[in-house]
Amino acid sequence: MGPKALEQWSSAFLGGGKIAGDEYNEPVRAGREWWRDVPVEKVLVLAGRDEVLVDGIRRWEKVFREGFEDGGKEGEEGKVEFLVVEGEFHDHVNVGLGMGLKESVQAKRVKGWIGSRL
């Protein structure tokens, strides 16, 4: 996939340019303060090392973690788990299941993460 395809997909997602980029559509734009009061206890962030979005996901995770974990709340570190998996790609969990691929590292981690919270 090249830059032209990414431009087409992002344009389609943003309504052909009718919707401006914002924190909801492009979370990497949000500052750490934006994430302070996310109403969940813990977050699992996954990325494939080979995916085109991995650099943006890494930047976002750092800012998200700073806002979500710090957020002026003492003793709440460790609320974000971040896993980057070699040889996997964006949305590997869903695509792999849909295509009948061997269960990925990301899929195993998602199952374990959800199972530990039930």
- Where exactly are the structural domains of the chain? 31-115
Mean pLDDT by 10 residues, the chain (118 residues): 79 70 84 92 92 92 90 62 91 82 90 91
pLDDT computed for residue 18 by the predictor: 63
Class of residue 86 by CB neighbours under 10 A (exposed 0-12, middle 13-18, buried 19+)? exposed
**Residues 21 and 56: beta-carbon distance below 8 Å:** no
